[in-house]
């Protein structure tokens, strides 16, 4: 890798950091805002000769990466914040056993909830598992930290967590790339050492003691790292972690006063460095994304070394508890503490919102409307995580909790509401990720449940990554394609039916038959994501003005290709010709014609 | 012009806003300028409003603070109004007037004059035109994004050569020619407006 400067996405800088750090194998499940790291790795794998895979879920990804690390090689597991919940089980005990080769766990948090179901803070997982965590302030620092973290992980024989946030992951900057570390080939591979690797109680007790002893070593090591530093100044003190460091710097670039500043990039915090800064402070403002992790830590330190000082941040309302931090919020907090007045910031104009919608021709739209039509208003539609969650806008998704929860929530709802049909809706990738145990549980315990798997042949929402049902890998090689139909049959489903959601009439009649039958029934709606379809415009859609009654059934399908003008539908040029509106028009006013005939 | 040029680019998912951010960012790299930025991915891309921030010469965080943007590059008028609160009073808004209606909303699309009034209220100057129409004439609505960068190019802290070079990094070779045409067209358009004989930029709507 020659010295090169490029305008890079934070996630791409992380990928280069992994590569430069000597990565030998990477494992990930897609999830915004983390997906681009692994996509970039997949594009570099051949050139730099490392292995990369899309794993079935984050738990499997972390465990597989752990296996690589036990063999003395450098591995990474990459996921979004809620993915770490799925991987929490191996995480907690991997901290006990430790590792041999460097193991880096990259976790992308989503403060502000841009594309997630919550805004949990992964630093708390690091504290919970007693593992070190690095939090970069910029794409360049992300590259440096990630690169460094392999060697650090090996030095302390512990996995290392890298915490990103959306604005870092999807932030961009001119980044200078470096050289890939060439590792010596002297690794001896996996060495049998049951007392270390087999966590039976006798060994686990010892391992817990080792983990606790390591804490001191790690804390000491953090004092030496330049990811933290103290910039002495006057008056107050601002402590800022991760990306917020630059928000603070920007605010003080405009201020006349020159407060002391501390940049935090590591957990555990560098307590000695902090003590120096805290000793003479009167007012301390703590700025961080997520929960008041640094703030509470600083409060504890102050009790010991400077109890007279006051701490401000998320706990006293100086900064909001929820959402993202911004330059504006930091400025407001600093001025408030300095007793300065500020001009009010402009209020966003109240304008017609533009919410995300399912694409024109999206097969999910067809599947969701078919289910609504057949199962009716009384039915409950527990949903899941994916593009189809947008079905909430058309009344076809009633719950969304976490990956795979639609099936199990559905089984629960159906158990004590036997007179209401329950139709769990889940995507193909999500089904592989966390739906399989829930399906087996439903059949084993004889739930009355319809399961609709919306099989659009990809992981669409996160940018079209492959999964076990597709037949090719992250790097594009052909592989075993898991047969969803046979899989569901093997899970014990009485009926497994494959439907093409574009075939509306046929699907309706099959679904009606299925509706009143007992047991777990699986419908696989198979139709590739419209963004992957090469042949758009299968049909041209036209309106017969005389037949149209202005009933708006077509409009309420929620398709961006159907506009409503002068009490009539107008098909705009984003139409892909899927024909759903034609099939749903109760007055046969919409017609379709083969394009090339 | 001050050293850092803060730009907010906005529009609708699918209009190629990330490409604009890449183009401007790469141009900074070619010009040896520092640069930071931020963009929208994931859920927001499915036809939602999309914003990208880019701070040419910027050394701080990825987001442009409110009322601090020197330039608002709006590929759609409703989005121009929505993101106008980023503009500083002496800033410049370049607004494409071709509307994209949020289809699944029953409410009617606001009047153009209402939207532009919100932009003007910031005190910023404005160049507004139906750039989609010009893009179509050159050959494709898809090049609207690059055409509008061309219009903005005289106000950027990088040379036009850097932009043209950067285009080759961010656009696939088979689309170089049409994009270069769009970039040049945009630049000529802007220079026409600001030439002594041309109309004045302010309120060119």
Say if the Cβ atoms of B60 and A253 lie within 8 Å: yes
Instruction: Dump pLDDT digits (tens) for B26-71.
Output: 999 999 999 999 987 765 566 788 999 999 999 999 999 999 999 9
Give Cα separations from A322 to A165, A296, B74 (angstroms).
14, 16, 29
Question: Which of A352, A355, A560 minimises the CB distance to B78?
Answer: A352
Predicted confidence at residue B202, as pLDDT, reads 44
Q: Is A526 helix (H, G, I), strand (E, B) or coil?
A: strand
CB B92 within 8 A of CB B70: yes
Per the prediction, chain B carries an average pLDDT of 91
| A325: pLDDT strictly greater than 60 | yes
Predicted confidence at residue B104, as pLDDT, reads 63
Inside any domain, residue B200: no
Q: Alpha helix locations (H) across A460-589?
A: 484-490, 504-515, 580-584
Inside any domain, residue B204: no
Instruction: Dump pLDDT digits (tens) for A433-482.
Output: 999 999 999 999 999 999 999 999 999 999 999 999 999 999 999 999 99
CA distance, residue A528 to nearest chain B CA (Å):
17
Whichever domain contains B21, its CATH number is 3.40.920.10
Q: Is A216 helix (H, G, I), strand (E, B) or coil?
A: helix
Average pLDDT over residues A304-312: 95
Give Cα separations from B75 to A403, B9, B52, B86, B97 (angstroms).
36, 8, 12, 15, 8
Residue of A227 and A593 predicted with greater confidence: A227
Q: Which fold has domain A539-594?
A: Alpha-Beta Plaits (3.30.70)
Tell me, yes or no, if A543 comes closer than 8 A to chain B by beta carbon: no
Residue B198's pLDDT band (cuts 50, 70, 90)? low
What residues of A are in contact with residue B61 (Cβ under 8 Å)? Answer: 167, 171, 243, 246-247, 250, 327
Tell me, yes or no, if B4 comes closer than 8 A to chain A by beta carbon: no
Q: Alpha helix locations (H) across A99-170?
A: 123-129, 139-156, 166-169
Give Cα separations from A214 to A155, A207, A218, A223, A333 (angstroms).
11, 10, 6, 15, 37
Within 115-134 of B, beta carbons closer than 8 Å to A belong to 118
Inside any domain, residue B124: yes
CA distance, residue A172 to nearest chain B CA (Å):
5
Predicted confidence at residue B14, as pLDDT, reads 85
Cα of A147 vs its chain's centroid, Å: 22
Predicted confidence at residue B204, as pLDDT, reads 46
Say if the Cβ atoms of A174 and B29 lie within 8 Å: yes
> CA-CA-CA-CA torsion for A59, A65, A71, A72, nearest 10 degrees?
-130
> Which overall architecture, per CATH, does domain A363-526 show?
3-Layer(aba) Sandwich (3.40)
- The total number of structural domains in chain B stands at 1
ipTM entry:
0.92
Predicted confidence at residue A596, as pLDDT, reads 61
Inside any domain, residue B205: no
Predicted confidence at residue B48, as pLDDT, reads 83
Inside any domain, residue B202: no
Which homologous superfamily does the CATH classification assign to the domain defined by A4-182+200-224? Thiamin diphosphate (ThDP)-binding fold, Pyr/PP domains (3.40.50.970)
Inside any domain, residue B199: no
Average pLDDT over residues A303-323: 96
CA distance B129 to B185: 14
Residues 6+ apart with CB under 8 A from A266: A132, A133, A134, A135, A222, A225, A227, A228
Instruction: Dump pLDDT digits (tens) for B134-159.
Output: 999 999 999 999 999 999 999 999 99
Both tokens of residue B9? 């680019």
Tell me, yes or no, if B112 comes closer than 8 A to chain A by beta carbon: no
Domain of residue B57: give its range.
5-194
Length of chain B: 205
Say if the Cβ atoms of B35 and A387 lie within 8 Å: no
Domain A229-338 has CATH 3.40.50.920: yes
Predicted confidence at residue A120, as pLDDT, reads 98
Give Cα separations from A202 to A206, A212, A213, A388, A518 (angstroms).
7, 16, 17, 47, 49
CA distance A90 to A187: 24
Residue A534's pLDDT band (cuts 50, 70, 90)? low
Domain ranges of chain A: 4-182+200-224, 229-338, 363-526, 539-594
Q: What are phi and psi of A293, to 5 degrees?
A: -70, -50
CB A92 within 8 A of CB A122: no
| B203: pLDDT strictly greater than 50 | no
CA distance A87 to B71: 44
The fraction of chain A above a pLDDT of 70, given in percent, is 98
CA distance, residue A556 to nearest chain B CA (Å):
8
How many Cβ atoms sit within 10 Å of the Cβ of residue A74?
28
Say if the Cβ atoms of A326 and B63 lie within 8 Å: yes
Average pLDDT over residues A198-205: 98
Instruction: Dump pLDDT digits (tens) for A339-387.
Output: 988 888 888 888 988 888 898 999 999 999 999 999 999 999 999 999 9
Predicted confidence at residue B80, as pLDDT, reads 97
Residue among A106, A187, A181 at smallest CA distance from A147: A181
Please, what is the Cα angle at A66 between A64 and A69, to 5 degrees? Answer: 120
Please, what is the Cα angle at A76 between A75 and A80, to 5 degrees? Answer: 165
Average pLDDT over residues B74-79: 97
Predicted confidence at residue A536, as pLDDT, reads 60
Give Cα separations from A228 to A268, A289, A549 (angstroms).
11, 16, 68
How many Cβ atoms sit within 10 Å of the Cβ of residue A573?
8
Residues 6+ apart with CB under 8 A from A155: A221
CB A44 within 8 A of CB A21: no
DSSP state of A435: I
Q: Which of B3, B61, B68, B89 to mutate to test the interface with A (most CBs of A within 10 A)?
A: B61
Residues 6+ apart with CB under 8 A from A123: A133, A135, A163, A267, A290, A291, A293
Q: Which of A172, A177, A353, A464 to mutate to test the interface with B (most CBs of B within 10 A)?
A: A172
Predicted confidence at residue A344, as pLDDT, reads 82
Say if the Cβ atoms of A36 and B41 lie within 8 Å: yes
């Amino acid at each position: 890798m020659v010295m090169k400067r490029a305008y890079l996405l934070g996630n791409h800088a992380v990928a280069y950091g992994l590569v430069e750090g000597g990565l030998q194998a990477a494992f990930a499940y897609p999830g915004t805002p983390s997906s681009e790291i692994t996509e970039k790795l997949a594009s570099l794998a051949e050139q730099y000769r490392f292995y990369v895979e899309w794993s079935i879920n984050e738990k499997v990804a972390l465990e597989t990466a752990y296996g690589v690390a036990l063999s003395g090689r450098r591995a990474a597991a990459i996921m979004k914040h809620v993915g770490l919940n799925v991987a929490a089980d191996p995480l907690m005990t991997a901290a006990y056993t430790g590792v041999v080769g460097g193991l880096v766990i990259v976790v992308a948090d989503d403060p502000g909830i841009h594309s997630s179901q919550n805004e949990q803070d992964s630093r708390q997982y690091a504290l919970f598992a007693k593992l070190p965590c690095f939090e970069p302030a910029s794409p360049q620092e992300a590259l440096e930290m990630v690169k460094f973290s392999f060697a650090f992980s090996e030095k302390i024989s512990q996995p290392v967590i890298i915490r990103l946030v959306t604005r870092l992951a999807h932030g961009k900057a001119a980044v200078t790339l470096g050289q890939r570390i060439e590792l010596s080939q002297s690794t001896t591979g996996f060495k049998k050492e049951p007392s270390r690797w087999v966590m039976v109680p006798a060994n686990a007790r010892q391992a817990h003691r080792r983990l606790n002893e390591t804490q001191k070593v790690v804390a000491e090591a953090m004092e030496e790292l330049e990811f933290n530093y103290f910039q002495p100044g006057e008056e107050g003190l601002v402590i800022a972690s991760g990306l917020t460091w630059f928000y603070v710097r920007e605010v003080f670039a405009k201020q006349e006063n020159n407060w002391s500043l501390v940049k935090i990039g590591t957990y555990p915090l560098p307590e000695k460095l902090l003590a120096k800064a805290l000793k003479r402070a009167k007012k301390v403002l703590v700025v961080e994304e997520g929960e008041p992790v640094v703030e509470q830590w600083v409060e504890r330190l102050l009790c010991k070394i400077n109890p007279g000082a006051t701490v401000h941040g998320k706990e006293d309302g100086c900064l909001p508890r929820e959402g993202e931090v911004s330059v504006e919020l930091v400025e407001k907090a600093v001025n408030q503490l300095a007793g300065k007045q500020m001009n009010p910031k402009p209020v966003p104009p109240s304008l017609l919102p533009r919410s995300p919608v399912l694409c024109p021709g999206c097969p999910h739209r067809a599947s969701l409307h078919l289910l609504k039509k057949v199962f009716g208003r009384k039915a409950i539609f527990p949903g899941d995580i994916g593009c189809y969650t947008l079905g909430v806008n058309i009344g076809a998704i009633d719950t969304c909790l976490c990956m795979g929860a639609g099936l199990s929530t559905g089984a629960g709802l159906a158990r004590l509401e036997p007179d209401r049909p329950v139709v769990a809706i889940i995507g193909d990738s999500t089904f592989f990720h966390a739906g399989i145990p829930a399906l087996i549980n439903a059949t084993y315990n004889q739930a009355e449940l319809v399961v609709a798997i919306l099989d659009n042949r990809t992981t669409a929402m996160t940018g079209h990554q492959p999964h076990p049902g597709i037949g090719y890998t992250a790097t594009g090689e052909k592989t075993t394609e898991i047969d969803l139909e046979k899989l569901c049959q093997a899970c014990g489903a009485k009926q497994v039916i494959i439907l093409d959601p574009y075939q509306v009439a046929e699907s309706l009649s099959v679904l009606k038959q299925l509706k009143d039958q007992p047991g777990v029934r699986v419908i696989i709606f198979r139709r590739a994501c419209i963004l992957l379809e090469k042949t758009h415009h299968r049909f041209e859609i036209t309106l017969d003005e005389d037949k149209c009654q202005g009933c708006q059934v077509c409009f309420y399908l929620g398709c961006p290709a159907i506009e409503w003008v002068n009490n009539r539908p107008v098909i705009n040029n984003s139409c892909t010709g899927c024909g759903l509106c034609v099939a749903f028009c109760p007055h046969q006013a919409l017609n379709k014609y083969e394009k090339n005939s | 012009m001050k050293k850092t040029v803060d730009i907010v680019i906005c529009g609708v998912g699918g209009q190629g806003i990330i490409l604009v951010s890449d183009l401007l960012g790469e141009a900074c790299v070619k010009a040896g300028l520092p640069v930071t930025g931020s963009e929208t991915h994931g859920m927001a891309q499915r036809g939602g409003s999309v914003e990208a921030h880019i701070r040419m010469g910027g050394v701080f965080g990825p987001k442009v603070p409110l009322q601090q943007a020197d330039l608002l590059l709006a590929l759609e008028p409703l989005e121009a109004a929505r993101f106008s609160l980023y503009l500083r009073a002496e800033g410049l808004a370049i607004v494409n007037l071709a509307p994209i209606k949020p289809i699944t909303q029953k409410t009617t699309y606001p009047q153009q004059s209402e939207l532009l009034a919100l932009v003007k209220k910031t005190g910023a100057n404005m160049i507004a035109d139906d750039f989609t129409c010009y893009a179509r004439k050159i050959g494709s609505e898809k090049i609207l994004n690059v055409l509008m960068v061309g219009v903005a190019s005289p106000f950027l802290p990088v040379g036009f050569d850097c932009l043209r070079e950067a285009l080759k990094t961010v656009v696939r070779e088979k689309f170089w020619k049409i994009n270069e045409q769009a970039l040049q067209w945009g630049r000529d358009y802007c220079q026409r407006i600001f030439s002594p004989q041309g109309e004045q930029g302010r309120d060119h709507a």
